[in-house]
Amino acid sequence: MRVAVFHPGAMGSQLAAQLVVAGHEVHWVPEGRSTASVQRAEAAGLIGTPFAEAVGWADVVLSSCAPQGAVDIARRVGEAGFKGLYVEANPLSPRSLAAAVESLPDVTFVDAGVVGPPPTGGPSPTHLMLSGAAASQVAALWSGTAVTPMVVGDEPGAASAAKSAYAFYNKGKAALAVLAFELAAKHGVTDALVAQQIRADAGSLKDPGLPEGLTSVAWRWGPEFDELAETLDDAGLEGDTARALRQVWTRLSQ
């Protein structure tokens, strides 16, 4: 299959690299991207192509970027007249997902969400949640790779919900750990908190390098928590919980 991926960051480049491993030809658009993005794309075996050519040539478009750019990418691809298989692999709220779907009236739309680290074949699996009428077809694209596809529903939205549920738990506890370390530091008792890492229920308190280790992803996790807040609101749950934790990522990103 011919695949165009927008815009491959740390996760998207590795998802695309596994498509290359599976024998697909994968293109991306280097215009306006950083040197780090170019290096990741080259290492993944991606082919740099202008936007219009990449969309016009592709059988499949994979959108894997920061959530704040996802709807704009869908609109641009829709305006370019794409009519193939569109894989929306960003953590979106129901409202944002609906906006992406509406921007792409002529495509076969598959909702996707990644749970786990970038796929490198390590001990922690990378699950690609998929939902939509063509979810099984998309799952087959990564056959025999370090990506483990999981079809979780027949309609778009199910995959995003599965991703959101895990992300809220996993990244939420990371935000709580950041606050715990900062609170301990304010009172000069960090050593006492670190001493509790031996406990089985210490969880994210065992993660090394907090909070400094999360500053590089805070710019992306903040908007993800905006989407999570809307997702919780839509389910009749406490979206303000995500809004409060979002403030941790706002502060770290600054």
Residues 131, 242: one domain?
Answer: no
Residues 115, 195: one domain?
Answer: no
Residues 85, 180: one domain?
Answer: no
Residues 94, 148: one domain?
Answer: yes
The dihedral through the CA atoms of 90, 95, 97, 102 has a sign that is negative
**pTM (predicted TM-score):** 0.94
- Which pLDDT belongs to residue 120? 87
Cα separation, 135 vs 121, in Å, equals 23
Residues 130, 174: one domain?
Answer: no
Q: How far is CA 39 from CA 2, 42, 70, 146, 226, in A?
A: 21, 5, 22, 21, 30
List the strands of the sheet with 2-6, edge to edge: 47-48, 25-28, 2-6, 60-63, 85-88, 108-115, 126-131, 147-153
- Which pLDDT belongs to residue 187? 98
**Residue 121 vs residue 193, higher pLDDT:** 193
- Which pLDDT belongs to residue 208? 82
pLDDT band at 91 (very low <50, low <70, confident <90, very high): confident
Q: Are 73 and 99 in contact (CB under 8 A)?
A: no
- The mean pLDDT of 92-99, rounded to a whole number, is 97
pLDDT at 123 over 90: no
pLDDT at 109 over 90: yes
- Which pLDDT belongs to residue 2? 98
- Which pLDDT belongs to residue 169? 97
Domain count across the chain: 2
Planar angle of CA 82, 156, 150, nearest 5 degrees: 105
Structural domain harbouring 10: 2-154
Element (H, E) at 141: helix 135-141
Q: How far is CA 178 from CA 104, 185, 190, 207, 217, in A?
A: 39, 11, 12, 10, 13
Residues 187, 130: one domain?
Answer: no
- Which pLDDT belongs to residue 209? 80
pLDDT band at 172 (very low <50, low <70, confident <90, very high): very high
**Residue 234 vs residue 209, higher pLDDT:** 234
Residues 231, 194: one domain?
Answer: yes
Residues 39, 150: one domain?
Answer: yes
Cα separation, 71 vs 202, in Å, equals 38
Residues 138, 29: one domain?
Answer: yes
pLDDT in tens, 46-88: 999 999 999 999 999 999 998 999 999 999 999 999 999 999 9
- Which pLDDT belongs to residue 30? 96
Residues 176, 235: one domain?
Answer: yes
Cα separation, 250 vs 231, in Å, equals 19
